[in-house]
Amino acid sequence: MAERTQNLQDLFLNSVRKSKNPLTIFLINGVKLTGVVTSFDNFCVLLRRDGHSQLVYKHAISTIMPSHPVQMFDPEEAAEKAD
């Protein structure tokens, strides 16, 4: 069976979601949103801050800047694949 690979966008968003890493999302119109990603799909990101959720459409996002470094790959898994 072929191994299914995730795209970089999904790996990044899933990593910040699992770690609850606060981030800033810059929209193409210049608006800056901050919060924690609670969920995402192919079209949108659910951002939570101060007990409120915001549904942000991906086509409106320019840049996502996490407040802490993002660990997207398991170092042990990466070493195994390199062998």
Torsion of CA 33, 49, 53, 38, to 10 degrees: 90
Residue 43 structural domain: 8-82
- What is the predicted pLDDT for the residue at 71? 85
- What is the predicted pLDDT for the residue at 1? 53
Q: Is residue 3 part of a domain?
A: no
Over range 69-80, report the average pLDDT. Answer: 72
Q: Is residue 16 part of a domain?
A: yes
| Position 78 confidence tier, pLDDT thresholds 50, 70, 90 | low
Q: Is residue 68 part of a domain?
A: yes
Q: Is residue 65 part of a domain?
A: yes
- What is the predicted pLDDT for the residue at 81? 63
34: domain CATH number is: 2.30.30.100
Give one DSSP letter per residue of 27-71, joined into a string: ETTS-EEEEEEEEE-SSEEEEEETTEEEEEEGGGEEEEEESS---
Residue holding tokens 């901050």? 34
What's CA 53's distance to the chain center, in Å? 15
| Structural domains counted in the chain | 1
Over range 37-62, report the average pLDDT. Answer: 97
Q: Is residue 34 part of a domain?
A: yes
Q: Is residue 28 part of a domain?
A: yes
